[in-house]
């Protein structure tokens, strides 16, 4: 699951229409998506970064038998620390893989992207 701080780069890349991008920007919407079996699916929206972090936590909390957990980000290092602490009761913090995404993915998602991936049994 991932969320985006800005819709600008999704709109620039043709992944979001101009009207939706403008409306989302005016309303300060942070879209959340999931990717399952290679398919990108909308998962919901958050109005604040705190709300988006809570949705990421809720997503992981709903999973059973987590074998691996990763947090990926473009520029939100402070939020990564907050999310890792939130997830600590669900998965050992020292086993969470934290990585900054590369420029190819970052170009399409823009600054302020944060994602969590889980490997479940």
User: What is the mean pLDDT, run by run of 10 residues, along the chain of 121 residues?
Assistant: 78 70 68 81 87 94 93 89 93 92 77 90 86
pLDDT for res 16? 63
| CB contact at 8 A, 2 and 32 | yes
H helix or E strand, kind and range, residue 22 = helix 18-26
**CA atoms of 121 and 108, how far apart (whole Å):** 30
* Cα three-residue angle 98-33-114, rounded to 5 degrees: 25
pLDDT for res 22? 64
Domains defined along the chain, listed by start? 2-120 (3.30.1180.10)
Range list of β-strands (E), the chain: 2-4, 30-36, 39-46, 66-73, 96-100, 113-120
| CB contact at 8 A, 4 and 10 | yes
Instruction: Note the pTM of the prediction, 2 decimals.
Output: 0.83
């Amino acid at each position: 699951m991932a969320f985006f701080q800005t819709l600008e780069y999704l709109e620039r890349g043709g992944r979001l229409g101009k009207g939706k991008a403008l409306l989302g920007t005016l309303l300060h919407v942070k879209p959340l998506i999931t990717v399952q079996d290679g398919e990108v699916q909308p998962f919901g929206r958050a109005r604040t970064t705190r709300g988006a972090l809570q949705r990421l936590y809720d997503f992981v909390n709903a999973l059973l038998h987590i074998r691996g957990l990763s947090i990926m980000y473009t520029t939100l290092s402070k939020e990564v620390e907050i999310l890792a602490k939130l997830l600590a009761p669900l998965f050992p913090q020292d086993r969470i893989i934290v990585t900054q995404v590369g420029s190819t993915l970052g170009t399409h998602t823009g600054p302020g992207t944060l994602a969590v991936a889980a490997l479940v049994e």
